[in-house]
Chain A
Amino acid sequence: MNHEDAELIQRWQTGETGAFEDLVRRWEPPIARFLGRLVRQPESVCDLSQEVFLRVYRARSSYRENGAFSTWLYQITLNVARDHVRQQRPLEPLPGDDLISPASDGEAISMSQEIAATVSRALADLPEPLREVLVLRHYENMNFEEIGRLLNVPASTLKSRFGTALRKLRARLRELGITGWESDE
């Protein structure tokens, strides 16, 4: 465990409220980023972050120093995100006129934002287990062993899921109008 985390937790468990606030401030940005990629509605991220740290607060007495705090925190975040996704209704597919037209060579910035939004949308459309492994590997830069410990799934399974996730993402992007793939030629 990170030394700073350990110290903050120890102080917090002995009743120092400020230590909990320090812990939240320290971990809030990465957890919010992580939640933002796991769920589709950015507007929910704030509430979900609250929920994550509230659960951390509640679990104060049961927390044992037998693993990394970050792993525990990510596990809680994943559970919060899963609960949220299950409560949401499936999103309607994007209408056809929203598709990116290859001929629409508009402004470069606007274009890249549009592509980013489409990729974000395609990412959100991935099945939950695939999305989780993709986010953890790509954005959180975890290796497959770390992800395995987090998800309680063998690393070999995760590698396979990761490949599937990328291929499904490409397929979905094709559907959403992103062209120019080498494999199309």
Chain B
Amino acid sequence: MNCQQAQPQLPEFAYGDTEPKVAQQIAAHVMGCPACQRELADLRRLRDMLDSVPAVTVPLDMARLCARAADEKPSTPALAKQRSERTQVSYAMLIIFGVLLPAVTLGIEYATGMCAEVFFDPIPTTWHAVLAAFVPIANIFALLVVINEWTEYRTKLAIVNGVAVGISLVYALVFAPLLPVAIPAILLGGMGFLPLAPLSALVCGLVLQRRLISLPNSPALRFGGMLFTGGTLGVLMVVSAEIPMLMTQTGAQMAVSTNPATRAEGLAFLRRFGSETELLQLAYGDRNRAVMRVSSLIGSSITTEEARVTYYRLTGHPFNSIPPPERTRRNLDEFLGDIDFDQDLGGVNVAARVRDLHLTSSRLDGFVDAGALWAYVEWTMEFKNSSRSPQEARAQIQLPPGAVVSRLTLWVNGEPREAAFAGTSVVREAYQKVAVVQRRDPVLVTWAGIDRVMMQCFPVPPAGGLMKVRVGMTIPLPPQEPKLACLRLPRLVERNFGISDELVHAIWLDTTAPATTDAGSLTSQSNGDKGWTLRGSLPDDLLLASTSTLSFPLARTPPTVWAEDPKTSGQIVSQSITESRASAVNSLSIVVDGSVGMKEHWQAIATAIASLPPDTDVKLFVAADSVLDRTAEMSDRSVDRLADLLSSVGGIGGCDNVPGLIAGWEAAAEATKGVVVWIHAAQPVLLDPVEPLIQRLERRPDQVIIYDVEVASLPNRVGEALKSNAAVRAVPRFGSLESDLRHLFEQITGVAPSFSLERAAMAPSEVPADAKKTSEQIVKLWAFGEVNHLFQSPQPGQTEQAVPIAVRYQLVTPVSGAVVLETQQQYDEAGLKPVDPDTVPTVPEPEVWFLIGIAIAVIGWEVQRLRRWRGSLS
């Protein structure tokens, strides 16, 4: 033992309170330690000096004491009984108002979400629920200690009770504004007791604190000591649970300000202190989350739409690409059996994900005539709704480049029903009337931007009900090279339903030429004389990836093909390939999205830009939080330099690309032939107004072309807003971003030729002699081109002319949509006529196609014979 160990024990040693073994060790140490010897001597001297203090002996004035005691009220049995009864009543009141009322209130709120629905959510997280449950539990334990006089627990329970008082205090304060409503509500069915629960728990907590500290047979504690410690802890616990929400709501409110500086500060604040999960909750409509509401402390809460915009700005991702966060508990709708009422039912947006709605089966069947450069694919989807209320499935489908929806089918009671095609407003009105008002079975497909359609069907029946729909699309296959046709399958870019990891899209395409693909799960098998079959399955992520592109090497340059127009007697439509080479652009503006989704693509973009001819005038704009003109730094176009340049300015959150596009357009418009290449990730929300950009494109449609390059299949609201503008071209994505960008740059700089499919209507006699007859699908593609041409025309009245064409050829276009209703009466009421099932395109079986092939050969031979005969006559 050393001095450090011995000295603290010397006082006990001096008083003989040390354990014998320790005392021996101390004694041994003291023997050899002069310092400890001196200390011990002092302690013994102190002990003697204390002994010298005489005791005070003051005789008690017994008579006075007895007199004072006699003045105290005598405790008669009746008084004792009265006291006992009063005590019992007080215990009962404490149980009712301190334990039962808070517990019942919590239980009702947990089960129904009543307060959350109407005012604010008092238990937005599990942590809040635990804190709220802590109050009645602490009160019941405090009461047990008081009743049983368990003095050994009273200090601990006084602190625990203080914590409960602190929690109750916060809740009582936030519920205080509801008290004027609560008190009259007590008279109307007693529900008004619920908002009073925090206040009653607070009062009971204080009463229990008083009783705990003055328990009989134990030293009285000072009122306030334990209460302050525990209460502070309780308040801090609620505040700590609130911090993420308060920080996020504060930042979000700043981020939606109309003042750009405040907006930027808000975003910076959110990036530093905000919670993505909280913002996601707000984006999914859970607005009343914070107990200590920002709305009541700072101002009005942000709207759901503002939260969705802010979520994109913060994360760079569409909010509905993330499944809805789990709720702490059910809400009032669920309690009443109407789960998750979908506020966007029948709307024009895909909007929020719906819980318990899933795509359970998906198959793609089709036929590819690689020689005639067209394909027809039908996508059959089945949805399952496991919730307790009917749900609407909504999705945006990315079509193959240039494709048009030409068939829509809904199974009603197991029977397929074909769609009616009409103007967009007519079909949407019919759908909304049947879906939202009558709540019957319709499905609607409308145009949603270049190569995109919006599909929505309602109701997917509740409790495991299924709904099956089929979307047929006619697809052109413009060659990417003289002897190479490519097909990218349709895919879901935005959806309000889930797709389980197990789900695969079953693919079955009959083709006239063998297909190659990087998707290893797809295989092409020969059917002998009947062509080939491409079969297999793709999980959703692979269907979205460009590796699922199907390539059809062609033995020779495809010939001109023709088909009779079934809708116009005596008219045929021909399709031929046109090769062109662009004259070099004078000015190329590259507008790069600065969002986080672009991070992994900097290298590919830099490599593609570096491949541009050195004499090309390139301007670079990065759409970050503001538009960054990096043209001055483009003197060195090495890949590393460009990649560094891009990564140094972008990759944060979600950015508005419209100002960047305007800047790029202005720069390109300075030249006689300008081009903007817009490379971007998801654009799920519109931030700045698009109208200034649309104005430029409409007023000078031939001056600048915008090439829209998406790094992946993602929502694109800017693209939707630009509609089918003649000055905007969607760049097909068949390969990697780098190769597709290089290919585009080669084409727009005139280094490589580009191929397009030209279609024209003509009389049968005008068909070239070497042309081959093919399917009527090319007629639909021609009609689609006509509709687009009329729609894009600046001439007034052209759009109106486009609608009848789209309806006649049964197409979903910028001016028309398709709707399937359940009954003929519904069609009649909407003024719609479903298409004749015999006129819809179908996927023929290989055998059928073989017979059609023979028939076409015979007809072709007959036509040639007729021409020769006519020629001999003339």
Contacts and interface: CB of A to CB of B under 8 A. Distances in A.
A24 B52 contact: no
Nearest to A36: B56
A178 B46 CA distance: 11
Interface in A57-80: 57-64, 66-67, 72, 75, 78-79
Contacts of B59: 28, 46
Contacts of A151: 219
Contacts of B56: 32-33, 35-37, 42, 45
Contact of A36 (B55, B62, B66): B55
B218 to A, nearest CB: 6
Given A120-B53, A143-B17, A32 B217 contact: no
A163 B41 CA distance: 14
Contacts of A24: 60, 62, 65
Interface in A27-48: 28-29, 32-33, 35-37, 42, 45-46
Contact of B155 (A33, A120, A152, A160): A152
Contacts of B8: 160, 163
Interface string A3-33: 0000000000000010011001100110011
Given A45-B58, A115-B52, A170-B46, A66 B80 contact: no
Interface string B755-781: 000000000000000000000000000
B60 A53 contact: yes
A58 B70 CA distance: 11
Contacts of A112: 52
A32 B49 contact: no
A144 B69 CA distance: 34
Contacts of A32: 56-58, 60
B38 A163 contact: no
Contacts of A53: 60, 65, 69
Contact of A54 (B46, B69, B218): B69
B838 interface: no
A58 B66 CA distance: 12
Contacts of B45: 181-182
B186 interface: no
A14 to B, nearest CB: 11
B42 A162 contact: no
A119 B58 contact: no
A36 B56 CA distance: 5
B65 A182 contact: no
Contacts of B46: 166, 169-170, 173
A58 B53 contact: no
A143 B17 CA distance: 8
Contacts of B217: 63-64, 66-67, 72, 75
A101 interface: no
Contact of A137 (B15, B49, B61, B149): B15
Contact of B38 (A119, A139, A166, A185): A185
A105 B217 CA distance: 50
Contacts of A75: 217-220
Given A63-B217, A75-B219, A46 B58 contact: yes
Contacts of A20: 69
A29 B58 CA distance: 8
Contacts of B58: 32, 36, 42, 45-46, 49
Contacts of A163: 8, 10-12
B43 interface: yes
B216 interface: yes
A138 interface: yes
A156 to B, nearest CB: 11
A36 B62 CA distance: 18
B15 A28 contact: no
Given A24-B60, A170-B42, A61 B80 contact: yes
A64 B43 CA distance: 40
Contact of A181 (B37, B42, B65, B83): B42
A28 B60 contact: yes
Interface in A102-143: 112, 115-116, 119-120, 123, 134, 137-139, 143
A138 B50 contact: yes
B219 A64 contact: no
B5 interface: no
A55 to B, nearest CB: 10
Interface in B789-837: none
Given A57-B72, A181-B42, A119 B52 contact: yes
Interface in A134-185: 134, 137-139, 143-144, 150-152, 159-160, 162-163, 166, 169-170, 173, 178, 181-183, 185
A50 B66 CA distance: 10
B47 interface: yes
B43 A29 contact: no
Contacts of B15: 137-138
Interface size bracket, A side: 35 or more
B699 interface: no
A170 B46 CA distance: 7
B413 interface: no
B68 interface: yes
A120 B49 CA distance: 9
Interface string B25-51: 000000000000111011101110110
Between A17, A60, A163, the greatest number of chain B beta carbons within 10 A of the residue's beta carbon is seen for: A163
Nearest to A134: B50
Contacts of A169: 46
Contact of B216 (A49, A63, A120): A63
Contact of B220 (A49, A50, A79): A79
A62 to B, nearest CB: 4
A64 B39 contact: no
Interface string B1-18: 000000010111001010
A139 B49 CA distance: 12
B20 interface: no
Contact of A116 (B37, B53, B68, B155): B53
Nearest to A79: B220
Contacts of A66: 149, 217
B530 to A, nearest CB: 92
A59 B220 CA distance: 13
B414 interface: no
Nearest to A153: B155
A64 B149 contact: yes
A133 B430 CA distance: 89
A64 B65 contact: no
A181 B42 CA distance: 6
A98 to B, nearest CB: 17
B189 interface: no
Contacts of B43: 166
B438 interface: no
B870 interface: no
Contacts of A160: 8
A60 B72 CA distance: 12
B54 interface: yes
Contacts of B151: 67
26 contacts: A20-B69, A28-B59, A32-B57, A36-B56, A37-B56, A42-B56, A49-B60, A50-B65, A59-B216, A61-B83, A64-B217, A66-B149, A67-B151, A75-B218, A78-B219, A112-B52, A115-B49, A115-B52, A119-B53, A123-B53, A159-B17, A163-B10, A163-B12, A166-B43, A169-B46, A182-B39
Interface of A: 17, 20-21, 24-25, 28-29, 32-33, 35-37, 42, 45-46, 49-50, 53-54, 57-64, 66-67, 72, 75, 78-79, 112, 115-116, 119-120, 123, 134, 137-139, 143-144, 150-152, 159-160, 162-163, 166, 169-170, 173, 178, 181-183, 185
A-B complex: 8 closest residue pairs judged by Cβ atoms: A36-B56, A182-B38, A62-B216, A163-B11, A182-B41, A75-B219, A33-B55, A46-B58
Given A45-B56, A163-B12, 17 more contacts: A24-B62, A24-B65, A32-B60, A33-B55, A33-B56, A50-B65, A53-B65, A54-B72, A62-B216, A63-B216, A64-B149, A64-B216, A67-B151, A123-B53, A138-B15, A139-B50, A152-B218
